[in-house]
Structure 1
Amino acid sequence: MQLTELLFHKVKDLPGQGQLSLKPGYVAIVSKAPSLRVAVIAPLCPAPDDQKRLVDGSGPTRVGVGLTSGDGSPYRLLRELGGNRQLLKFDSGTKKFSPLTEDQLEIDSFLRVECGMPPSDAYTGFFVLEVNELPSLRGKAAAAASEAYVDQPKVKALKDELELTKKFEGMQDRLFKVAQRLHDLKLLDEKVKDAEADVKAVEAELGRSPWSPEQMKELTAKATRAKEDLKKRDDALNDIVKRRQRAQQNVPPPPDPFLKDPWFYGGMLGGLVLDGLAVMLRKPYIGLFGLLP
C-alpha cells in the first residue's frame, strides 16, 4: 500500500482545509501542529481519542488519505469525525472518485488483503516524529518486554482467537470482492441501459423518416456518385472551353473582298471587250479568251 495524498477539513491546529501530495518513499512533513500525525493515521486506524485530538469545534471535521492497492488502482479513504469511514474508487471513465462502500469491516478487510496493511499498532509505528519513537529506543523496550513472564494458556487462547480472526477476515474479503463485483456490474448495467436507450432513440428517428433504411443507403450512394458526376461534368466543360480557345487561335484570317480589288474590274472589262469583238467580227472563238483567268 502506498499513500498518495492527505486531505483535511477544519482540523485543530491546521488551516481550514488542504490537500498534501505524498510521493513514494520516505516523506518528511514539517509542521508545528501536533494533530498532523493523527490526521494521517485517523482514516486508516481509528482511535477513540481522535475526536478530542482533531476537532476544533468550528464545524464538521473531516480527514482522508489517498492510497493505491496492490494492483496500483487509486482509492480514497475519507472519515468524518463522529461518523463512519467511506471508501471511494477512482473511475477512469468519469475521472472522478465514486463511492464503493461504507461498511467498516469491508474497509478493514480491503486494507489488510488488497493493500497489505499490517496491524494498526505496527503501522502507526512507521510514523516517527520524536526522538523517543526511533526504532533503536523502541527495540530496547521490546527486549525488556520479552524477558517478562509468558502465560502459556493465555498465549494458546490468543492463537486460537487469531486463527478465528483469519478465517473471519477471509470471509470478509470474499464478501468485499462480491460487493465490489456487484458494484461494477451495476455500473455496467447502467451503461448497457444508456446504450439501449440511444439505440431506441436512433430507431425512433429512423421510424419517423419517410425513407426505408435500404432507400437511405441508395440515396447516400447516389449522393456520393453525384459528387463524382459533377466533377466529371466540370472537367468536360473545361475541356470544351480549352478546345474552343485553341480552335479560335488556329482559324485563318478572312480574305480581302474581291469587289474592292481593281484587278477584278479590269478582268471584267477585258472580258466584255473580247466578247464585243467576237460579236462584231462574228468569230465566237474570240469570246473564249475572255474566259481565261
Structure 2
Amino acid sequence: MHWVEFALQGVRGFLPSVRVSLKPGYWTLLPNTPGAPLVGLTSELCFPDGRGGDARYASAEGGNTSKAALWIVGRDRATYRILRELGRSGSLYRVNASTRGHDLVTEEPTEMAQFLRAQVGFPPRGRYETLFTFTAGQLPSRRPKRSAGPGARPGGAGATPAPETPIDPAQARSRLAELEKELVLSSEVERLQFRADGVSAQVFQLETKVKSVLALEQDLAEAQRGLQQTPTVESLGLIPDIVERAKGFSALVARVDETLARLEADRQLDVVKSPTAAPLQRDARFWAGMALGAAALFTGATVTGPLKYIALLDIPAFGLAALVALKRVEDLQWAEMAVRRGDRLGDRERLVREQFESEAQPVRNAMKILGVEQPHEIVLALEEHGRWAGKVADLEKRVQSARLNPEYIAAATQLAELRAEQESLNARLAEKGSYVRDAREVEREMARMREALAPAPRRVSSPGVPAASGAEGLDDFTTGLMSAAADLLTVDVPTLAARIGERCAQYVSALTERRVEGLEFTYDGQGLARVGGKQIPVAQVAPRDMDWVWLGLRLTLLERLVSQEQMPVLLEDMATGID
C-alpha cells in the first residue's frame, strides 16, 4: 500500500489550498507554519470513528469548508480516495480504472474503517501510530517522567540522588480517586469499543454475503424502471402490425420504385414507337400524286392518237396519293392508341402511388411519434420493451431463488440484529465522550500516584532482570513496541526478538557512537541495553542515549514490517526532537 496524492483545503498549518502528487520514495513536505498536523490529520482520515475529532484540524479563519482528500493504492492494487469535510461527513471511493471516475464505496464511518482495514490493508489505529509514525512527542525524553524513588540516582551507581518533588498526600489521594473513576470509564469504553469493532467486522462479513442479493435487487429495480419507460404499440396508439410494416418498409419502397421504373420505361417505349402523323395537306407526296394524275388525265383527254393513252398514267399517280392518305389514317389510329395507352399507364402509376402512401403513412406516423428518422429505428425502439420484459422475468427468478437461499436468510436476519447492536454501541460510546484516555495510560498514572504515596516503592520485573525504571523515572518503551510489532507480524515476542537482535544492535551502536553496544529482550519484550559490557534495563540508559536507542529499535522494527507489507511511514518534525 502507498499514497498516490493528497489534497487539502482550509486545513490548519497548511496553505489555503494544497495538492501534492506522490510517487513511491522519500518526500519532504514543508508546511506553511511550524507544527502542521500531518500525522494527526492522516490518522483521522484513515481511521474514521464518526466522532468529529478531525474538526480540530480545520482552519480557524473560516470561509470555505475545510476538506481533506487522500488517494491510496491498497493491498488489492485498486486505487481509493478518502474524502473528508473536517468535523462533518466523510466518504470512501474506489477509482474506476476504465472511466477514471470515482465509485462510492461507503459514507458510514464504521463501515469505512472496517473496509480500510480488511480490503485496503491498514492495521489498527494504535498499531499504525505506534509503528509507522514518528513524532517528536513520541521520544522518550518528551514523555511525562515518573517520580523517582528515594534511592534512584540520575547518573546510575555512585551519582548524586535526584531531589524529589514533594506531593501533597491529600491531593494525591484525591487524584487517585479520580483516576480510579477514569479507569472504570476507560475500561468500559475499551470494552465497548472492542465489542463495536467485533460487531463491525461481523457486519462487514455478512454484508459481503448479502451484497450479491442486493446487487440483484438493484438490477431488478433498474430493469423494472427501464420496462416502464420503454414505449409499446398500445401506449403509443399505433396499429398492431406496425413492427412488421416497419420491417418490410424497405422492401415496399424497393417494390414501388421498381414498378414506377417499369411504367416509365413503357411510356418511353411508346413515345419512341409512336409514328409522327403530319397533316395531309403538308405532305408533298400526296400533292405530287394528285398533280401527276390530273395532268395525265387532262393530257389524254385533249390529245388524239396513241398519245391519248397517257391518260392511263393517272392510275399510279392517283394510287400514290391514295396510299399516302391511307398511311395518314393509319398514323392517326396509332397516335390515338398511344394516347389511350399513356392514359392507362398514368392511371396505373397513380394507383401505385396511392397504395404506397396508404401503406407508408402508418410507418411515417410511428417515426414522428417515436422521434426517429429511419423505419428500422421503430423496430429497435418497440422491441426494447420485449428485451426489458425478458430481463425483468429473468432477474425476478434469480432474486426469488437468492432470497430463498438458507444462507441468505440467516445472514440477513443476523445482519439486522448486528446493525441494531452496532447503533446501540455507537450511541453508548458517544455518551461516554469524544475523548477517553487509554486504560493502560490511566493505570500508569495511578501507579505513579501510588509510588508517590508509598514510602519505598518497589517494582517487580522479570526473573533476573533489574527493575525497568530510569534515573529520571522514564518508562520502558520496548515492551509496547515489541508487542505491537509481534501482533502485526503474527509471531510471539521471543521469536521477533531473535530475528531483530543483530540488526537492532547495529542501529543502536551506530546511533549512540558505541556508547550502547546492543539491545536484547526478555520473553515479555522488556529491553536490556548492553553498556560497558553490562546489561541494564533500557529505562536506566543515560538520558542523552535514550532517544537514540528508541530510534534504533523503531527503525529495526520498521525494516521488518515493511519487508512483509509496504506501508506509508510519516516522520513529523523529528529533527527538533533529537540532539
Letter in 2 for 1:43: L
Q: CA RMSD in A?
A: 4.8
State the partner residue of 1:71. 76
Distance change >3 Å, CA 292–CA 202, structure 1 → 2: closer
Deviation, 1:196, is 0.8
Structure 2 CA distance, aligned partners of 1:52 and 1:208?
A: 57
State the partner residue of 2:431. none
Deviation, 1:216, is 1.7
* Aligned partners of 2:8 and 2:17 also within 8 Å: yes
State the partner residue of 1:123. 132
Letter in 2 for 1:122: L
* Aligned partners of 2:48 and 2:113 also within 8 Å: no
Letter in 1 for 2:218: E
Alignment map for 1:96-175 (pairs within 5 Å) = 96-104=102-110, 106-118=111-123, 119-120=127-128, 121-124=130-133, 173=201, 175=203
* Aligned partners of 1:3 and 1:68 also within 8 Å: yes
State the partner residue of 2:284. 257
Distance change >3 Å, CA 97–CA 290, structure 1 → 2: closer
Deviation, 1:43, is 1.2
Could you list the runs of 5+ residues in structure 1 that have no partner in the other structure?
A: 134-167
Q: Choose 266-275 or 78-87, whichever is displaced more.
A: 78-87
User: Is the aligned partner of 1:6 residue 2:11?
Assistant: no
Q: Deviations over 1:194-242 (max 9, x none)?
A: 3212313436663452422xx1223223433332234324543664576
- Partner-residue secondary structure (3-state), 2:249: helix
Structure 2 CA distance, aligned partners of 1:178 and 1:240?
A: 81
Deviation, 1:85, is 5.3
Structure 1 CA distance, aligned partners of 2:113 and 2:94?
A: 15
State the partner residue of 1:291. 315
- Partner-residue secondary structure (3-state), 1:58: coil
Structure 1 CA distance, aligned partners of 2:297 and 2:271?
A: 45
Letter in 1 for 2:315: L
Aligned-pair identity (%): 15
- Partner-residue secondary structure (3-state), 1:226: helix
Structure 1 CA distance, aligned partners of 2:61 and 2:210?
A: 39
Count of residue correspondences: 245
Could you list the runs of 5+ residues in structure 2 that have no partner in the other structure?
A: 140-195, 318-579
State the partner residue of 2:249. 223
Q: Deviations over 1:107-143 (max 9, x none)?
A: 4443333223354033335xx9x9xx9xxxxxxxxxx
Deviation, 1:272, is 3.0
Structure 1 CA distance, aligned partners of 2:269 and 2:37?
A: 90
Distance change >3 Å, CA 292–CA 25, structure 1 → 2: same
* Aligned partners of 1:40 and 1:64 also within 8 Å: no
Structure 2 CA distance, aligned partners of 1:64 and 1:292?
A: 119
* Aligned partners of 2:68 and 2:85 also within 8 Å: yes
User: Is the aligned partner of 1:194 residue 2:200?
Assistant: no
Structure 1 CA distance, aligned partners of 2:235 and 2:133?
A: 65
Q: TM-score, normalised by structure 1?
A: 0.59
Letter in 2 for 1:123: F
Distance change >3 Å, CA 204–CA 79, structure 1 → 2: same
Q: TM-score, normalised by structure 2?
A: 0.34
Deviation, 1:89, is 3.6
State the partner residue of 2:381. none
- Partner-residue secondary structure (3-state), 1:270: helix
Alignment map for 1:232-251 (pairs within 5 Å) = 232-233=258-259, 235-236=261-262, 239=265, 243=269
Structure 2 CA distance, aligned partners of 1:177 and 1:228?
A: 64
* Aligned partners of 2:58 and 2:86 also within 8 Å: yes
Q: Choose 173-182 or 113-122, whichever is displaced more.
A: 173-182
- Partner-residue secondary structure (3-state), 1:35: coil
